[in-house]
Amino acid sequence: MRIQDVKTHMKFKWLFATIVVVALAACSAPVPATQPASNISVKDAWARPTIQADAQAEATADSSGNSGSMDHSTMQMDGPLSAAYMIIENSGGADKLMGVSGDVAETIEVHQTKESNGMMMMEAVTSGIDVPTNGALELKPGGYHIMLMNVKNGLNPGDTFKLTLKFNSGKEVPVDVTVREP
C-alpha cells in the first residue's frame, strides 16, 4: 500500500513536471507567434554585365610584353566581377536578409557602399539587413548590393541566372536575375 502510494505520487510528479514543461513551452511560443511571419517577394532583380573575358586576356597579354615599372602586377588575381541589385518586398512581419548563394560566381557577398570622410567605400555586411514589416529593402547602386566575385562565365546583357536569398526566419527565396546595362 505504502509503496503503491509512493509510486503513484512519483507518477503524478512526472505528470506534473511534464505539464509544467509543456506550459512553459506554450508560454514562450507566443513570442514569435505575435510577430507575423515575413512574406517576401522580389522584383526588378538585375546585375551588371561583366567586362568581357577577352578584354581581360588582352590585358594579360599586353602587360606580359611590357617591363615598365607600371606593369609589375602582371594579371588580375581574381576573375570577372559584377553586382546584383533588386527590390525585396515584404508583406508580412520583419525579417532580415542574412546571405545570398548561387552558382554564378565563386564568392557571393552582401556589401554596402557607404560614404566615409568624403570617400565612397565598401564593407561586407555580416549581421544581416533589415527587411521591415510591410516594407521593402532596396539593393541599389551606391547602397546595398550583392557582390559577385570571380563570376564563372561572363555575364552578357539578356543572360539570366539564379540566386537564393537567405533570411533570418529560415526562409530561402529563389530569385531570377537578369543581366542588363544600368
Partner 1 sequence: MNTKSDGFKVFLGVLGGLAAVIVFGLLLSFAPELAKVGQPTPTPGGIAAGQYREVPDVTLINQDNQPMSLADLKGKTVMMIFGYTRCPDVCPMGMSDLRRVKRELGDVADQAAFVFVSVDPDRDTPAVIKPYVKAFDESFIGLTGDMPALQKFVYAFDGLFEKQKPTGDDPNIYVMAHTSFTYLIDADGKWRMKYPFGTPVETLVRDMRATIATDGSASS
Q: Which helix (H) or strand (E) holds 17?
A: helix 2-28
Count residues binding partner 1 (CB under 8 A): 42
Identify the three-state secondary structure at position 138.
Answer: strand
**Nearest CA among 92, 18, 90, 80 for reference residue 55:** 80
Q: Which is nearer to partner 1, 88 or 145 (CB)?
A: 145
Q: Which stretch binds partner 1 (CB under 8 A): 32-40, 58-66, 95-103, 126-134?
A: 58-66
CB 149 within 8 A of CB 108: yes
The answer to whether 66 contacts partner 1 (rule: CB under 8 A) is yes
CB of 54 to partner 1, least distance (A): 8
Compute the distance between CA of residue 29 and CA of residue 20 in angstroms, rounded to an integer. Answer: 14
CB of 87 to partner 1, least distance (A): 17
R_g of the chain computed on alpha carbons? 26
Q: Which is nearer to partner 1, 71 or 172 (CB)?
A: 71
Compute the distance between CA of residue 83 and CA of residue 102 in angstroms, rounded to an integer. Answer: 13
Site map 16..55 versus partner 1, x via CB under 8 A = --------------------------------x--xx--x
Compute the distance between CA of residue 92 and CA of residue 169 in angstroms, rounded to an integer. Answer: 12
CB of 17 to partner 1, least distance (A): 51
Which positions lie near partner 1, rule CB under 8 A?
48, 51-52, 55-56, 58-60, 62-63, 66, 68-73, 76-78, 81-83, 111, 113, 115-122, 124, 141-142, 145, 147-149, 181-182
